Amino acid sequence: MNKSDLTRQLAESLHLSMREAGSIVNTIVEAMADALARGESIEIRGFGSFIVKHYESYTGRNPKTGEKITVQPKKLPFFKVGKDLREQVNRQRKN
């Protein structure tokens, strides 16, 4: 499923135009991205949580040349699946 599929399903389920459904999807995605950019976590009960992990600077190697390089500190978003979603996926896999 991609963003267009999600928009289409939302439009059909709630009897909205594609434009209205697209606006809702975009608003949700932007709100989540903004929260993660601020370093906040997002928890959707039964679905999962998004967290931001912080990585310090470290010395790495360029895989092509073997040259030592300094990797800058960074923040990366991670998703941890919720219990209900994990169980639903595993239930469907068994059928």
Q: What pLDDT is stored for residue 94 in this prediction?
A: 66
CA–CA separation, 24 and 3 (whole Å): 11
- pLDDT of 8 reads 98
pTM: 0.78
- Using DSSP's 3-state secondary structure scheme, residue 6 falls into helix
- Report the CATH number that the domain containing residue 80 is assigned in CATH: 4.10.520.10
What separation in angstroms does the CA of 23 have from each of 3, 4, 29, 33, 42? 11, 12, 10, 15, 20
Print the domain residue range for 68.
3-94
Q: How many domains does the chain have?
A: 1
Per-residue pLDDT of the chain (95 residues; tens, 9 = 90+): 999 999 999 999 999 999 999 999 999 999 999 999 999 999 999 999 999 999 999 999 999 999 999 999 999 999 999 999 999 999 976 66
Q: 56 and 73 in contact (C-beta within 8 Å)?
A: yes
